[in-house]
């Protein structure tokens, strides 16, 4: 058993050191002989045992005696632990690949492949222009589309079988971070794409009303407007004149749009949309539902692609 | 001058050169080299790195002179009557192979060897059994490892061509009564070859006084460089034999059909020689003679006594060879029931940087015949101290307690 544990550990260490590479080779040879029911003739296990005991005996004779007596049992324990941790490692790798988190979708627990937890970061909505209700926790379990009326949401590619619902805000860092990937995804895979803009900063909440008016006036230009807002420097989003210029550049009547945005009916419709967005129980942006599966935080492109097209999306 | 005062000459034993003090108890495998030997070799490479005997320039002349001096030195070291009786080889193994292959053994000739010979003095004869149809007779030692003289007398009575024994055993350090062996063998018309690899480092060998016919030794066991060795042979015998390896430097001239061999010893030294090594070997012999064999034996006995007496009561420890340390030179070989010998050696190394040999020490035949898996061999030399021997015992006791 010791050979197997040592072969794995030394193979990993061997990546960095030539001395360990030689030992790893001996250990692998030993493993090969053992699994073919032959005795290990490299003396590897003896050698390693002697080295360990030799180091230990100078520190504590009792511990060395215990180690010597229970070496095989300890080797078995380490083997089982290694097996279990290997299973967890493979599971973590799989989950990281498919959900962007070692612990499963939207679980913000520590992940060695994403040590800063970047893939689960969200912009808080708690103190924004439209704070979400305080009873919604950030565990992710409550995220749902049940009872959510999508008729109020801007949408494109309505004929697609796949559904992609994106909740974000123009001025949120993580929404801005993930937006280029989502744009690429929508272009490549053409899912039915809903965008729920939920402002988290008071000074940019007017953009929601602008967006509502633009969408009602020209749906195609609405998506171009989104591109422009996400490309715009975040500081200028609060600047009404900069927004005016964007609208003008898109060939829209900016004065007309601004007038529409100022109407009470617009505010009412936008609030209705916010209400529907809140009905998803989301707690931060970006939040995305792909065919009903919620994903919170800026995930890598592959995670969204896998949800839409399966594990081997890149083959399609 | 006390023997361990010479420690300063051995770079690896000098604390300034080694942050991890080494306790070297593996001299039976290979001795350490004093700086005088290293410097002699360095001088060759830095000052006159040329061929000996071939070219005529000043560098070549220096090398030729130093090679002759080294041969002369080795002749004095062994008490040979003339320097031509000294053939430089790579080691003892090559020297024995030279005799086995160059001497005119015929089908049916008998070669007698001991029961605990190093593979170097076993395998060449086994090959002759296959290739030339000789008979190989083995004379087992007595149960305490000592030589079976009556058995020997009986063994040579049947007509033996050559007797080849290890002078001092690398397994248990037992030295054979070679004077009696040689006399008895010669009386029966047998030639005698001695493998003096372990004897030469620790006792004065005088080939003329012994009247031995061939004697082989290794440079690396007498403080000399590795890859050097000597075959001593009586001139008459060497002259009569045909060379084993031939080629460059073995012939005076050649035609497309034939060649004229050089006299002894050149005809046995084919190809370009290890000049630096041979010069170093000469220096090693000089150094060893300066230390003196009486002092060496005295120190070896002192150290072996400490090791033997310190472990005499150790449970499960079996000493290989006679109980009396005086009969085992500096060698202390043992095994402990139920404990792998390699494990003990590795642990000694890990615990206190004690370097010992473990396994079957190239005497597989003896271990296989006796059903013993392996052993640990601690071999002390004049540069070892009493403190080192005590540390060896102390750590061995610790290992025994834990394993």
- Whether B240 is covered by a domain: the verdict is yes
* Contact: A47, B348; criterion CB under 8 Å: no
* Contact: A61, B398; criterion CB under 8 Å: yes
B210 and B117 in a common domain:
yes
CA gyration radius for chain B? 22
Distance CA A196, CA A169 (A): 8
Q: What is the mean pLDDT of residues A217-235?
A: 93
- Is-contact B102 B268, C-beta < 8 A? yes
Residue at a domain's end among B233, B262, B290: B290
Query: What digits encode the pLDDT tens for the residues B292-312?
Result: 999 999 999 999 999 999 999
- Whether B103 is covered by a domain: the verdict is yes
> Could you tell me which chain A residue has the CA closest to the CA of B349?
A54
B271 and B299 in a common domain:
no
Query: What digits encode the pLDDT tens for the residues A127-159?
Result: 666 666 544 555 545 899 998 999 999 999 999
**B23 bridge partner residues:** B354
* Contact: B350, A51; criterion CB under 8 Å: yes
State residue A243 phi and psi, 5-degree precision: -65, -40
State residue A305 phi and psi, 5-degree precision: -65, -40
B337 and B285 in a common domain:
no
**Mean pLDDT rounded to a whole number for chain A:** 87
Cis peptide preceding B282, ω within 30 of 0: no
- Is-contact A34 A3, C-beta < 8 A? yes
Q: Percentage of chain A surpassing pLDDT 70?
A: 93
Per-residue pLDDT of chain B (403 residues; tens, 9 = 90+): 676 789 999 999 987 766 778 999 999 999 999 999 999 999 999 999 999 987 889 999 999 999 999 999 999 999 999 999 999 999 999 999 999 999 999 999 999 999 999 999 999 999 999 999 999 999 999 988 899 999 999 999 988 999 999 999 999 999 999 999 999 999 999 999 999 999 999 999 999 999 999 999 999 999 999 999 999 999 999 999 999 899 998 999 999 999 999 999 999 999 999 999 999 999 999 999 999 999 999 999 999 999 999 999 999 999 999 999 999 999 999 999 999 999 999 999 999 999 999 999 999 999 999 999 999 999 999 999 999 999 999 999 999 999 8
A148: how many CB neighbours lie within 10 A of its CB?
20
Of A17-31, A60-74, A299-313, the least confident? A17-31
- Whether B31 is covered by a domain: the verdict is no
Residue A66: half-sphere exposure toward Cβ, Cα within 13 Å:
7
B143 and B110 in a common domain:
yes
A227 three-state secondary structure: helix
Residue A79 binned pLDDT confidence (cut-offs 50, 70, 90):
confident
- Whether B32 is covered by a domain: the verdict is no
- Is-contact B391 B23, C-beta < 8 A? yes
Distance CA B186, CA A276 (A): 115
- Whether B264 is covered by a domain: the verdict is yes
DSSP state, residue A266: H
* Contact: B350, A54; criterion CB under 8 Å: yes
Domain holding B303, by residue range, is 3-25+292-402
CB under 8 Å to A19, separation ≥6 — which residues? none
Which of A54, A55, A62, A63 to mutate: most B Cβ within 10 Å?
A: A54
- Whether B33 is covered by a domain: the verdict is no
CATH code at position B79? 3.40.640.10
Distance CA B17, CA B249 (A): 40
* Contact: A64, B342; criterion CB under 8 Å: no
Of A32-36, A272-276, B154-158, B192-196, the least confident? A32-36
**Which chain B residues touch A57 with a CB distance below 8 Å?**
347, 351, 398-399, 402
Residue B394 C-alpha, separation from nearest chain A C-alpha, in angstroms: 12
- Which domains are seen in chain A, by residue range? 2-69 (no CATH), 122-297 (3.40.30.10)
* Structure-token pair, residue A79: 């083997």
Which pairing describes strands B135-139 and B110-114: parallel, antiparallel, or unpaired?
parallel
CB under 8 Å to B81, separation ≥6 — which residues? B208, B235
B182: how many CB neighbours lie within 10 A of its CB?
21
A290 three-state secondary structure: strand
B299 and B174 in a common domain:
no
B243 and B117 in a common domain:
yes
Query: What digits encode the pLDDT tens for the residues A184-208?
Result: 999 999 999 999 999 877 778 899 9
B369 and B233 in a common domain:
no
Active site residues of B: 362
> Could you tell me which chain B residue has the CA closest to the CA of A71?
B403
pLDDT at residue A171 is higher than 50: yes
B345 and B269 in a common domain:
no
**Which chain B residues touch A64 with a CB distance below 8 Å?**
402
* Structure-token pair, residue A42: 């490299």
- Whether B332 is covered by a domain: the verdict is yes
pLDDT at residue A126 is higher than 70: no
Number of domains chain B contains: 2
Q: Scanning the structure block, which residue is given the tokens 């061929």?
A: B51
- Whether B257 is covered by a domain: the verdict is yes
A168 three-state secondary structure: strand
**A195 bridge partner residues:** A166
- Is-contact A178 A138, C-beta < 8 A? no
Residue ranges of chain A whose CB lies within 8 Å of a chain B CB: 43, 46-47, 49-51, 53-55, 57-58, 61, 64-65, 68
B21 and B164 in a common domain:
no
B89 and B8 in a common domain:
no
B280 and B307 in a common domain:
no
B384 and B257 in a common domain:
no
- Is-contact B229 B92, C-beta < 8 A? yes
Distance CA B325, CA B380 (A): 12
Nearest to A57 among B342, B345, B347 (CB): B347
CATH code at position B351? 3.90.1150.10
Identify the pLDDT of residue A134: 47
Residue B351 C-alpha, separation from nearest chain A C-alpha, in angstroms: 5
Identify the pLDDT of residue A132: 64
* Contact: B350, A65; criterion CB under 8 Å: no
Identify the pLDDT of residue A185: 93
């Amino acid at each position: 058993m010791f050979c197997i544990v040592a072969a794995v550990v030394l193979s990993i260490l061997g990546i960095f050191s030539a001395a360990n590479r030689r030992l790893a080779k001996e250990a692998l040879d030993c493993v090969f002989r053992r699994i073919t029911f032959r005795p290990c003739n490299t003396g590897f296990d003896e050698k390693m045992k002697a080295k360990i005991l030799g180091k230990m005996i100078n520190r504590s004779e009792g511990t060395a005696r215990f180690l010597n007596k229970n070496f095989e049992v300890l080797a078995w324990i380490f083997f089982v632990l290694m097996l279990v941790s290997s299973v967890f490692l493979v599971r973590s790798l799989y989950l990281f690949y498919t959900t962007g988190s070692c612990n499963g979708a939207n679980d913000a627990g520590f992940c060695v492949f994403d040590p800063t937890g970047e893939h689960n970061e969200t912009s808080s909505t708690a103190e924004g222009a439209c704070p979400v209700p305080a009873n919604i926790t950030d565990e992710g379990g409550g995220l749902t589309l049940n009872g959510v009326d999508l008729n109020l949401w801007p949408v494109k590619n309505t004929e697609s079988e796949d559904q992609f619902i994106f909740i974000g805000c123009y001025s949120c860092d993580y929404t801005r971070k993930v937006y280029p990937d989502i744009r690429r995804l929508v272009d490549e895979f053409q899912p039915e794409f809903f965008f729920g803009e939920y402002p988290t900063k008071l000074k940019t909440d007017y953009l929601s009303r602008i967006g509502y008016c633009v969408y009602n006036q020209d749906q195609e230009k609405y998506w171009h407007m989104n591109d422009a807002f996400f490309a715009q420097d975040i500081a200028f989003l609060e600047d009404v004149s900069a927004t005016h210029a964007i609208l003008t550049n898109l060939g829209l009547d900016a004065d007309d749009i601004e007038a529409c945005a100022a109407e009470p009916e617009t505010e009412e419709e936008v609030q209705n949309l916010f209400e529907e967005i809140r009905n998803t129980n989301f707690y931060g942006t970006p939040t995305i539902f792909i065919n009903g599966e919620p994903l919170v935080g800026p995930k890598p492109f592959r995670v969204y692609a896998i949800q839409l097209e399966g594990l081997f999306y890149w083959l399609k | 001058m006390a023997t361990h005062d010479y420690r300063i000459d051995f770079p690896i034993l000098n604390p300034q050169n080694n942050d991890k003090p080494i306790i070297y108890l593996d001299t039976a495998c290979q001795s350490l080299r004093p700086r005088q030997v290293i410097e002699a070799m360095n001088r060759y490479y830095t000052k006159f790195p040329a061929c000996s005997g071939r070219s005529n320039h000043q560098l070549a002349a220096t090398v030729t002179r130093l090679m002759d001096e080294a041969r002369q030195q080795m002749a004095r070291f062994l008490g040979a009557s003339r320097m031509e009786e000294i053939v430089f080889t790579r080691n003892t193994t090559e020297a024995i192979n030279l005799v086995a292959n160059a001497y005119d053994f015929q089908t049916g000739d008998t070669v007698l060897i001991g029961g605990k010979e190093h593979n170097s003095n076993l395998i060449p004869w086994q090959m002759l059994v296959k290739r030339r149809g000789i008979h190989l007779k083995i004379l087992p030692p007595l149960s305490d490892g000592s030589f079976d003289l009556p058995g020997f007398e009986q063994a040579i009575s049947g007509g033996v061509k050559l007797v080849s024994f290890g002078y001092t055993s690398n397994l248990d350090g037992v030295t054979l009564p070679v004077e009696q062996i040689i006399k008895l063998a010669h009386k029966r018309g047998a030639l005698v070859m001695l493998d003096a690899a372990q004897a030469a480092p620790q006792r004065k060998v005088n080939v003329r006084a012994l009247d031995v016919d061939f004697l082989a030794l290794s440079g690396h066991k007498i403080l000399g460089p590795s890859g050097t060795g000597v075959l001593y042979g009586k001139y008459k015998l060497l002259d009569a034999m045909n060379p084993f390896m031939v080629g460059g430097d073995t012939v005076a001239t050649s035609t497309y059909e034939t060649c004229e061999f050089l006299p002894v010893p050149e005809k046995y030294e084919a190809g370009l020689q290890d000049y630096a090594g041979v010069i170093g070997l000469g220096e090693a012999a000089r150094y060893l003679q300066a230390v003196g064999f009486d002092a060496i034996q005295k120190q070896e006995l002192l150290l072996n006594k400490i090791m033997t007496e310190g472990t005499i009561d150790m449970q499960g420890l079996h000493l290989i060879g006679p109980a009396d340390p005086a009969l085992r030179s500096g060698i202390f070989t043992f095994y402990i029931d139920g404990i792998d010998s390699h494990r003990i050696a590795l642990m000694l190394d890990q615990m206190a940087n004690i370097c010992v040999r473990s396994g079957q020490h190239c005497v597989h035949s003896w271990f296989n015949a006796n059903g013993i898996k392996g052993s640990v061999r601690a071999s002390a030399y004049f540069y070892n101290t009493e403190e080192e021997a005590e540390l060896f015992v102390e750590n061995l006791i610790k290992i025994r307690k834990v394993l």
